[in-house]
Structures are given as structure tokens and as C-alpha cells.
DNA sequence: ACAAAAGCTGACCGATCGGTCAGGATTTCC
DNA sequence: GGAAATCCTGACCGATCGGTCAGCTTTTGT
């Protein structure tokens, strides 16, 4: 009995990672119901029985992936106060959210799929965390508006605007690629899109950068 | 034999409509693979066999719904020229897209689901139509920028910004409702969100309204 | 009135679904 | 070296999948 702590089986870790990656992709593509364990197993190059041996059940696997995604997002803008510079904070928000769309597109799509399904697994439990996140930021935005640092826009709509615009580059990449006849979105696309969003949204909210480089 | 033209069976029309409505909802929620004909039949209050009698197959039903959605969107901003007022056109675009999110949320979600799946049914055929739509509008935006009527922003990113921000209120309604603790989005929510988007996006692109009502 | 057309449905098909399990292979630990 | 723990898998389970079909009822056209 006993020491199942520090080194923690490299075999399990390796296989779980392969399963998680494959599952995230399949769940994102086909939703919870449309994803089959067989498809996940094939994508991971592992027999179906072995997948179930590691993850227990489809439901547990799905919830694990959802929680992993929520965790990544809650790390964003973890500390913001009304004394920070609005331009810097908004720009950091937009750029870090875009970076998530670029580096973890499957996570973003998995979340989108869950929401489209009516959020049956998130519903109350995890929306609470997001609600706190949103409320604390809206307070800061309101404070900035009172100090005249930005226009008095609805802070909730502003957060959803940034959320949707950045999310779009992960969730709807297929559409963007299809319409613009690219092969895929590359780093330069994400850079120019981030620049565009920062410019338009900051200006649209009446937020001025401290250092106006062009003037 | 013969006159199967004008009055056109009211029975078939009525049942097809019930099936289409139910199917749009189920496909939007669970994706193509995750949606079952039995679930659609139950939602429509019709036996499974009868659903198949009318629509032929799951594939055909799905494609029919997709085409219906694309049709609605292609009707938007059907005629725009560089001589029109940028503020009026952009505002009309935002508001009409928001109205679609409000009145046909299931259509929007169905499209989102199709894109998340990698657009297996749209792919080349229907992306072509959207590409033409986008290209003709980007030309107008570029013309406006040259005339100094708006900032020289990337027209493609601008279209996707408006697309994503408006689409969000249909596709992610569950998230918005869950976070803001509403029961559902009502007409007033859509009005204030539309106002917000018009204000921020127009200002963000350097587009001035002709009649500044508040000054 | 009556045949033709359209509407309708339960029973059924092979395939696949999520999940279980017995039991063999391999690794770990003393 | 050998027991214990972990890893692995093919066979199998009942349920559900999309789709077919024979045969019934209802509506339509004349």
C-alpha cells in the first residue's frame, strides 16, 4: 500500500493526455451526443476498452475537459483594479483571449458546443464562477466611466463583445478560412486581427492609449 | 391527371413546417450526428416513420434547413453602393443581423453547429455565395476609407466583428442568460445590445452619423 | 360511387451506441 | 523471484441509431 503520490505513473499521464486531446477535438466537432467513444479511441490510436479503462465514462471524460477549459479562462485578467490603465487592461484582455483562440481552439469549440446544447453540464455550478468574474470586471469598467476614462457603455455588453469577437477566430475558423480562401489561419492573421480588434474596440469605447505613438 | 400546382397540399405544408421547426432546434442543440430522427419526431409530435415519409432522410432534412438559413442571410444588405452613407449602412447591417438573431435564433445556432463540425455540408458549394457577398461589401468599405468616410480598417475583419458580435446573442444566449441571471433575453435586451454595438463599432471605425442628435 | 393518390404507422433490419467483464500481459515494489 | 498493482483488450450486453416496407386509412378527382 501507499505511495501513490509524487512520480505519478507516466504511463497513465501519457495515455490520458492522448485521450484528452482526441476527445476535445471530437467533442468540439460533434457535441456530446454526436461524439462516440469509438471515434475518440480511433483518433487517439487506442482501443475503445482502454479509453474507458482510463476515463471511466463518456460523461466523466466530457466534464473533465469542460472543467479544464473553464480553468484556463478563469486565469485571465486575474487581478484588475480601477487604478489600472483602461487601455492596457482592455488590450491585454483582447490579446490574451485571442491567444487562447489561437493556442487552444479545440477548448474554445468544446465550450461553444456545450453552450449550443443549452449548457446541460455547466448550468448552475460553473456559471457561478463566470458570473463572479464578469461582475468584478463590470465594476471596474463602471468606475472608469465615472472617472471619464472611457465612455459610459454597458460593461456587460462590452465583455460579451470582446468575448464573441475573439472566440469567433477559434469557433468559426472554418468559415473564415472558407470565405477568405486561406488554407488556415496563421500567426500573422491572429496578429492583424488582434490589432484590428484592439484599435476598433478601444476607440469605440472612448479609451485613449497613454502613449499615442503616431502623434 | 396533373394539376399538382397552385393550392399545393395544405397537409404536407403543415407537417413539413412542424418537422422543420423541431428539426432545426434539435440539430442546433446536438449537431448533425447527435440529433436523432426519433428526437425530432417526438419534438414535432409525429411518429418517426412519418417524419421519414416527408423528408426522405436525415441528410436531406439537414441540408434543406441549412439552405433555408443561408437564404435568409443572403437577403441582408442586398444592395449597397459606395455612394450610400456608411453610418446608415453599418447600422442597418448590425440591426438587421441582430434582428435575425432575435427572430431566428435556431437558424443561427444550426449554422454555428455546422461550422463547428468543420462545415462538411457547406464546404465549397455554399461558401462561394458567402464569399461573393463578403467581397462586394469589402470593396464598398475600402472605397469609403479612401474617401475618408471611415478609418482604413481591414474590411474583412470588420465584417467578421459584426458577424460574431451579433451572432453571439443567438448562439450563446444560454451563456448570457446564465451569467446575467435573466430568465431569457427580451426585446429590451436586444434593443440595448443593438444600440451598444452600433455606438461602439461605428465610433471604433471612425464613422460619423450625419445627424448628431445629442449635440 | 369508386379508383387513385396521398397520408400514415408498427414491425423490422443491420449497424453502432456506451458500458461491462473476465482474464491475460506488463510493470512495480520488496 | 514473486506477489501486487497496473495496464490492456476482445467478446459481449441491451439500447438506440437511420432507414425500409407492407399494408392500413384518409383525401382527392371525376
**ipTM value of the model?**
0.91
Give the residue extent of every domain in chain A: 10-56, 67-204
pLDDT digits (tens, 9 = 90+) for A54-113: 999 999 999 999 999 988 888 887 789 999 999 999 999 999 999 999 999 999 999 999
How far apart (Å, rounded) are the C-alpha atoms in residues A215 and B45? 66
Once rounded to an integer, what is the mean pLDDT over residues A159-179? Answer: 97
pLDDT digits (tens, 9 = 90+) for B102-141: 999 999 999 999 999 999 999 877 788 889 999 999 999 9
- Smallest Cα distance from B195 to chain A, Å: 10
Residue A171: all three cell numbers together: 469557433
Residues of chain A contacting B177 with CB distance shorter than 8 Å: none
Residue B17: all three cell numbers together: 413546417
Indicate yes or no: pTM above 0.90.
yes
Q: A113, A31 in Cβ contact below 8 A?
A: yes
pLDDT digits (tens, 9 = 90+) for B95-104: 999 999 999 9
pLDDT for B214 equals 47
- Smallest Cα distance from B17 to chain A, Å: 22
Class of domain A67-204: mainly alpha
Q: B171, B109 in Cβ contact below 8 A?
A: yes
Q: Residues 6 or more apart from A176 whose CB is under 8 A from it?
A: A168, A169, A182, A185, B160
Residue B52: all three cell numbers together: 421519414
How far apart (Å, rounded) are the C-alpha atoms in residues B52 and B35? 14
Residue A3 pLDDT grade (very low, low, confident, very high; cuts 50, 70, 90):
very low
- Contact status of A112 with chain B (Cβ, < 8 Å): yes
- Contact status of A161 with chain B (Cβ, < 8 Å): yes
Minimum-distance CB partner of A175 among B119, B201, B204: B119
pLDDT digits (tens, 9 = 90+) for A45-66: 999 999 999 999 999 999 999 9
Q: B58, B65 in Cβ contact below 8 A?
A: no
A18 touches strand D (CB under 7 A): no
CATH topology of domain A10-56: Arc Repressor Mutant, subunit A (1.10.10)
Mutate to test the interface with B, among A133, A166, A200, A201 (most CBs of B within 10 A): A200
Residues of chain A contacting B172 with CB distance shorter than 8 Å: 112, 115, 160, 164
CATH topology of domain B66-204: Tetracycline Repressor; domain 2 (1.10.357)
B15 touches strand C (CB under 7 A): yes
Strand D proximal residues, B:42-101, Cβ < 7 Å: 48-49, 52-53, 56-59
B39 touches strand D (CB under 7 A): yes
How far apart (Å, rounded) are the C-alpha atoms in residues A66 and A127? 12
pLDDT for B7 equals 44
How far apart (Å, rounded) are the C-alpha atoms in residues B162 and B183? 26
Indicate if A67-204 has the same CATH topology as A10-56.
no
Residue B45: all three cell numbers together: 409530435
* Percentage of residues of chain B with pLDDT beyond 70: 93
Residue B150: burial class (beta carbons within 10 Å; 0-12, 13-18, 19+):
buried
Q: Residues 6 or more apart from A65 whose CB is under 8 A from it?
A: A20, A23, A24, A27, A107, A110
Put simply, the answer to whether B176 touches A163 (Cβ < 8 Å) is: no
Minimum-distance CB partner of B115 among A158, A163, A174: A174
pLDDT digits (tens, 9 = 90+) for B137-157: 999 999 999 999 999 999 999
Q: B117, B31 in Cβ contact below 8 A?
A: yes
| C-alpha atoms less than 13 angstroms from C-alpha of B11 in its C-beta half-sphere | 2
Amino acid at each position: 500500500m501507499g505511495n501513490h503520490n509524487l512520480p505519478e505513473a507516466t504511463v497513465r499521464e501519457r495515455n490520458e493526455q492522448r485521450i484528452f486531446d482526441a476527445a476535445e477535438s471530437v467533442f468540439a466537432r460533434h457535441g456530446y451526443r454526436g461524439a462516440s467513444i469509438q471515434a475518440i479511441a480511433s483518433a487517439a490510436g487506442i482501443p475503445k476498452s482502454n479509453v474507458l479503462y482510463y476515463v471511466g465514462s463518456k460523461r466523466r471524460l466530457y466534464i473533465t475537459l469542460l472543467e479544464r477549459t473553464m480553468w484556463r479562462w478563469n486565469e485571465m485578467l486575474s487581478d484588475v483594479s480601477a487604478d489600472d490603465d483602461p487601455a492596457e487592461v482592455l488590450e491585454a484582455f483582447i490579446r490574451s483571449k485571442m491567444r487562447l483562440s489561437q493556442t487552444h481552439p479545440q477548448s474554445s469549440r468544446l465550450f461553444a458546443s456545450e453552450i449550443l446544447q443549452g449548457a446541460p453540464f455547466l448550468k448552475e455550478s460553473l456559471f457561478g464562477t463566470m458570473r463572479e468574474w464578469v461582475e468584478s470586471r463590470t465594476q471596474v469598467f463602471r468606475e472608469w466611466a465615472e472617472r471619464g476614462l472611457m465612455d459610459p457603455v454597458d460593461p456587460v455588453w462590452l465583455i460579451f463583445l470582446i468575448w464573441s469577437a475573439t472566440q469567433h477566430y477559434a469557433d468559426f475558423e472554418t468559415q473564415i478560412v472558407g470565405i477568405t480562401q486561406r488554407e488556415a489561419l496563421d500567426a500573422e492573421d491572429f496578429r492583424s486581427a488582434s490589432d484590428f480588434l484592439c484599435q476598433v474596440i478601444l476607440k469605440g469605447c472612448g479609451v485613449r492609449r497613454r502613449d499615442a505613438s503616431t502623434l
